[in-house]
Structure 1
Amino acid sequence: MAPDAMPAGTLLQPRPSDAFLLGSPNWRSTKQLRTPGHIVSTAEKFGRSAQEIALRLSKLGIEGIEAGLYSNDHWRTYRAEIALLATTDPHSTGWHPQSEVMPYHHLATTARRIQLPLADAIKVAEHYDIRVSPPPPDGPIKASNSIGDVIAAARHMGVGLDKFVTYTGEIKFADRIDNLLLEDIDDTNKPIALGHLHYIAQELDLDIDEVTQYVVNVGLTPPNVRRELSTDDLELISVDLDGRGPWLDTRLPVQPHHLIKAYADLYLPPEQVVARLTSLGFRMAFAELPDLTGFPDLTLLRQASTGLYLDPDKPVTLAHLVHASRRRSEPITDVAERLQKLGMKVPDLATTVRNAMARVPREN
């Protein structure tokens, strides 16, 4: 892996301003650094042309930037662009990626706020190759609409409920059961998670059969298994072991990392976890139970910066592999192999390292 990992060429000489381009002091991801919002806001802040910023970021190894989209004018203001290109994600302070559809709701409400005609706002998005979601059918979704109406509208637009809510803005229903249903459903064509159904029943003190029938009435599919669940069971079948969504999927095998986290957080022996999950209709992705003596794998499963568990639905990053390797004084290949055995998504290590080294900036 090592001999051919480092491409030939002289390393690019850094500039003092490069740290600002890369998001110092809160270093941004490559995905954020290539966004039009980051480029034009940086250009406005430092009085440079947006094209100059785009070209320098490309030289610094940030791929996927089309410099021709950006103005070569210095000291230009980007008031409308900065407002429109800001992310709608409440958990982020970043910029909207070109790879994601911009919610129509965000575009329309921002255009009204900055007193920009909607047609001009759409032109801004289109100029930077950002697609805008279609407006919701028959006008905005209001609190008076039923969840059945929302589900039908989402299907009409061809998106999941999570994307639909992002596109149309926050939705609040008069009935709490509708709001709870909306909390943890993305794909309306898939059965509702077993945990989600029972969570609603416990929150509203309803019989599980009542909730199941309501789910069917609004056009959703109930879980493919029927079991009685306790509060402890809800904790066990939640991905974060907190009794709330997201939930384990009865259609997918349970991975070893979930047993390790259940042992650490819920103090449940793996034999008991396997027995209970199996009785609830889950199947295991392994034949042998993981070794939990001294919690050897917790350092692999926790993020070093936050102490939180890695997201099992996302690929493990090279940065995490390197950090875990150093903490455990083990070869990075052993760390990657162990995480794979625990059921985590680990990209091919040789390819990951080679791609990372290829992004190291070099002189032409």
Structure 2
Amino acid sequence: MSDAPESQDPADLRVASRELDGRRPWLIPDEQVPYGHVLHAAAVQRCSPAAVVSRLAALGYTDIQHSEASLPDSVDLDDVPLIRDVGAEYSVTWLDVGKPVSLRQVLESAGQTDRGPATVARRLTALGYRLGDGDGAQSLPDTPHSGDPVLISTDRGSYGEWLDWGDEVPTPQVLRAARELRCSPYAAATRLLALGLRLPYTPEPADELLLRSSEEQDLRQGVRWLYWEPPVGHVLAVAQELARPAAEIAARLAELGYGRPAVPDSPEADDLVILSEQLNGRSPWLVVNTVVGLSLAHILRAALATGRSPSDIAGRLATLGHWLHENAKLPAIADEAEVRLLETVDRSFLDDVHLENVLRSASLTGRSPADVASRLTALGYRLPDEVEYPEVRGSLAGS
């Protein structure tokens, strides 16, 4: 049995067809006509929704979904994208007027139509829909932002959930969204508040500096610490620039969702130098290596840069959270030749140093394999190969 209407009037056929094209699939007389279909038909046929309802009733469609509010006087074609359910994955589904409109619906519709969330919320209300918070149009921002859906999506994969009106945003969500949008966590947090969501902390303008290098001014640097604690060097540098205690900076970073590094009560003059990878007191900073510990070469380079002994440098870095592997043996004094040797070694104190590693270092430094093997053993490396290393020096690689 066909569901086509008996009337052959082209206008009737269009209003009774789901796609408003006068062809199947047709509305089913025994099923409720969605409210969205009424609005869509009114927009396409440039008539009032009330006229569409009357025409459908005359064609035998008596079960028509209604809004709790009165029908709007008119509907524009620009309104149609707003009333399509953004959660429908496989086919066009009209937004259910009997349920509160989700924040996701407003934000995704705003993004698709390049309108501000407040504009979309007001228009949906005017069309007869009820917002989930009851007063969202008053609190939402007027400015459009294409990243809004990312801010409220807890996971961009298929198993993600969506934050809704008035929800509290988990701190890691702010950081994850900021990373995906390539913006600062402060910018992400303030936009979330503008969308009516709650945060477990109050965003502060100074957070921008806490989450980036004080020298490089890189807005994305803080985001890469999402799953670990910020380097101590960064904390001390920001504390120095803001003239605030390092412990206060570390505590604020913990509030913002980052790990809380241990910081000294009394920073020393050389701390920023020995904590920087380039020994210049600036980012990039040393990151704690929880597997093999601190680089022995860095300790010796830091000793040379500051005029302090290797043991003094190692002790201070240990206080700052950077430990030296128990197998490592510190020399009494730092030597440039020792640093050059260590920079050719790509093995950690957990690894065995084999013949090929010794020969490579000898080639790169111009030292004899026997000398290289002797020095590496003295520094704590394991050389398990039972070989007699030659005393003859090789020529430097590339010479």
Check whether TM > 0.5.
no
The TM-score range, normalised by the shorter chain, is 0.3 to 0.5
More helix by share: 1
Larger RCO, structures 1/2 (Cα 8 Å, 6+ apart):
1
**TM-score, normalising length from structure 1?**
0.39
State which structure, 1 or 2, has the greater radius of gyration over its C-alpha atoms: 2
